[in-house]
Amino acid sequence: MEKQKKIEIYDTTLRDGAQGENVFFTLHDQIKIAEKLDEFGFDYIEGGWPGSNPKAEEFFKKMAMRKLKHSKLVAFGSTRRKNLTADKDPFLKALLDAETDIIIIFGKSWDLHVKEVLKISLEENLNLISDSVSFLKSKGKTVFFDAEHFFDGYKENQEYAIKTLLVAQEAGAERIVLCDTNGGSLPFEVEEIVKKVCGLLRVPIGIHAHNDSGTAVANSIAAVRAGAVHVQGTINGFGERCGNADLTSIIPILQIKMGFKCLEEEKLNHLTGLSRYVYEVANIVPPNNQPFVGYSAFAHKGGIHIDAVGKNPRTYEHICPERIGNQRRILISELSGKSTVLQKLGKYGIEKQPELVKKILDTVGQLEKDGYQFEAAEASFELMVRKMLGLYKAPFVVEGFRVIVEEKGSKIVAEATVKIKVGRRTEYTVAEGNGPVNALDNALRKALTPFYQCISDLKLTDYKVRILRPEKATAAITRVLIESMDQNETWGTIGLSENIIEASWSALVDSFTYKIIKETEKI
């Protein structure tokens, strides 16, 4: 059997990814992510730019005391300053002080930047590159070179852009990485240019793509087709402006669709979990429509689609979702048919009970006429069906709740009181929140925690309110959708009422109920 060709995966989530708007990692977060990436077997982890800020320096000090099992930690920096020799440059010294075996430095390969940003001659820029690589090599370091703005530079001054690469190679760089820093290149351009570069250089070529044209993943794949063996990117495409190339798409494309080796197969099977882990650490709600790892990536709504997938998943799924740790979801909506319900409820063995299937379909249809929307509230649908099948046992009973909103000084404070019963025990709790729903969430959580520790990782990630029949003004029906998640799953619940608090409470109770039942009964 022919051995798979290895593609090096270089992660820069901790440095380039952290430059994205609304992305922030504490030092503890950075260490946790680095250890998770190492656990997955990424080849290289770029830790940051030592010397640029105290947190980056502290990160490398902490990591020096930890032993990575697979990955190699990389320190990132730039070529020497124009008015300093390499041995006197404080940033090059900081790179050495990081004590990593591998250092990656970026240098200008676009003459526009050399002339208008650095304001030096083209020849002097070549000296910056050569001196910096040579100096770091003389200190026993493995050096990679990021050719910043390479594709823009190549298009405007091909001869000079290539010179920057050759100078880095001759100085001892062991990887030359072509950067589409502005993210403006297109796949056919990248493939053509990378192919030419691979024919001119003897060292391995890499690609570092940004997503400003929405083509970062495509550009990375095009580069590999042309001969690149080293791919840089971030988990979930985090990064400045429109982000970097998303490794959670690149890895399965290369490994599953193109036959390259990126990760061990058993690690690939947990890629979705890695994606959601990084979102969780960054405190960012995952977008449902993210390719491969998104919550909706293998969700089916149309009856014809669902019927076909039930007969053969290949009809509407480009890969098996389990290959990357995701799962198929069958959505219940007004487009649902008999096959939808059968697939959704196959675990209950009701295939030979047509009258029960019809009853469920009729119920769903009537509820959606009233304003319910189970497409985004699968957990509420699950609970409803369990009740109809006689399989529902309430983990707790609500005996009452109350919410007070009042002004305290210059602040508006909400206070909720919740009374529940679990078995023979009654729990009565009070909690505050920044709004009535938050207060109810806090009070219910406080009441249930002594009985069900599993809710400790339950988080409410989204809250949507929709006014139905607005012509009734303040008497209109309100629909509330709540999205919740834990470490393994995301689910939605729904509430409907003329009273927004009641609708919110109904969706909230469903969310906690679903979490408890799925943990205790493994639904």
Burial class of residue 75, CB neighbours in 10 A (0-12, 13-18, 19+): buried
Cβ atoms of 441 and 433 closer than 8 Å:
yes
The pLDDT value given to residue 1: 44
DSSP output for 123-144: HHHHHHHHHHHHHHHHTT-EEE
pLDDT, position 134: 98
Which CATH code fits 8-263? 3.20.20.70
DSSP string, 49-72: -BTTBHHHHHHHHHHHTS--SS-E
In the prediction, which pLDDT does 364 show? 77
Spell out the domain ranges in the chain.
8-263, 299-366, 397-520
| Run of H or E including 440 | helix 436-448
Q: What element of type H or E holds 359?
A: helix 354-370
Q: Which CATH class is domain 397-520?
A: alpha beta
Give the residue among 43, 50, 104, 90 at the shortest CA–CA distance from 70: 43
Beta strands 205-209 and 411-422: pairing type? unpaired
Q: Which run of H or E residues covers position 430?
A: strand 425-433
Q: Do domains 8-263 and 397-520 have the same CATH topology?
A: no
What tens-digit pLDDT sequence spans the chain (523 residues)? Answer: 456 799 999 999 999 999 999 999 999 899 999 999 999 999 999 999 998 889 999 999 999 998 899 999 999 999 999 989 999 999 999 999 999 999 999 999 999 999 999 999 999 999 999 999 999 999 999 999 999 999 999 999 999 999 999 999 999 999 999 999 999 999 999 999 999 999 999 999 999 999 999 999 999 999 999 999 999 999 999 999 999 999 999 999 999 999 999 999 999 999 998 998 898 888 887 888 999 999 889 988 777 787 788 889 899 999 999 999 998 877 765 555 555 566 666 666 666 677 777 787 778 778 877 878 776 788 998 898 888 888 889 999 999 999 999 988 888 889 999 999 999 999 999 999 989 999 999 999 999 999 999 999 999 988 888 887 766 666 678 889 898 988 878 888 999 998 999 999 999 999 999 999 999 886 5
* Dihedral in degrees, nearest 10, Cα atoms 269, 273, 276, 280: -160
CA 460 to CA 494: how far, in whole Å?
13
- Beta carbons of 447 and 461 less than 8 angstroms apart: no
Under the phi-then-psi rule, with left for phi > 0, alpha for psi from -120 to 50, and beta for the rest, what region is 246?
Answer: beta
E strands present in 153-298? 175-180, 205-209, 230-233
Per-residue model confidence (pLDDT) at position 464: 85
Tokens 């319900």 appear where?
Answer: 341
Number of H helices, E strands in the chain: 18, 16
Quote the pLDDT of residue 436: 93
Active site residues: 305
